[in-house]
Amino acid sequence: MSAADRRTPGGLVLIEELINTLTLPSGPDTLAGFAERHGLPLPGLATLREALREACVAHTGPDMRPERAAELTGLLAAAPLTLTVDAAGRATLAPAPGLSPTAAFTARVAASIAAAETDGAWARLKACEDETCRWAYYDHSPAGRRRWCSMQVCGARAKMRSYRAKRRGE
């Protein structure tokens, strides 16, 4: 698989970029720079980022907390979409007219999720299962079962912790 084939598809790039504005557990938070680049006010973006991160963690296995799923559903519902059809008959989901910049951005996120859900790509946007990492990545593995952003770092740490726990139990 070439490097070009390993890119995150379509609108999921924007979601991945938003989630990765914070390096956990206490790394730099570049959300302000993200907001500036995209012409967005800062309030509310951190809430959207963390709800999206939890959805991406759920793609590795553990379910979202119900309150976080409801929060994300509410954020997306407050950003309505309009279905437009161009002269060639192609349909596109787009932010409804007249939305605030934050609502328009959230609508773009919702449209990206909807498009990615139809082809299975949404479930492959994941956040590292390692609680000290939670970095977003697109799972290009054939089976779609990757759990860590990097097998060499987070995956190796998890496997070593598991190995040591088993050894202590013997």
pLDDT digits (tens, 9 = 90+) for 86-99: 999 999 999 999 99
Name the percent of the chain lying above pLDDT 90.
69
Specify the higher pLDDT residue, 135 or 161. Answer: 135
Report long-range pairs for 130-134 (Cβ below 8 Å, ≥24 apart).
130/154, 130/157, 130/158, 131/24, 132/24, 132/25, 133/24, 134/24, 134/53, 134/57
- Predicted confidence (pLDDT) at residue 123 exceeds the cutoff of 70: yes
> What gap in Å lies between CA 83 and CA 111, rounded to an integer?
10
| Confidence tier at 152 by pLDDT (50, 70, 90) | low
Task: Please give the model's pTM, rounded to 2 decimal places.
Answer: 0.87
Q: For each of the domains in the chain, give its residue range(s) and CATH number, in order of start.
A: 3-169 (1.10.3300)
- Predicted confidence (pLDDT) at residue 1 exceeds the cutoff of 60: no
Which residues share a beta bridge with 137?
Answer: 126
| Confidence tier at 74 by pLDDT (50, 70, 90) | very high
Mean pLDDT (the chain, rounded): 89
- Predicted confidence (pLDDT) at residue 14 exceeds the cutoff of 70: yes
- Mean pLDDT of the 23-42 span: 91
pLDDT digits (tens, 9 = 90+) for 128-139: 988 888 999 999
| Confidence tier at 2 by pLDDT (50, 70, 90) | very low
Determine the 3-state secondary structure of 87 from DSSP.
coil
Closest CA to 108 of 96, 98, 94: 94
Lowest-confidence region among 5-9, 28-32, 44-48, 58-62:
5-9
- Alpha carbon 102 to chain centroid, angstroms: 17
CA distances to 43, 92, 101, 120 from 125, in Å = 25, 21, 24, 10
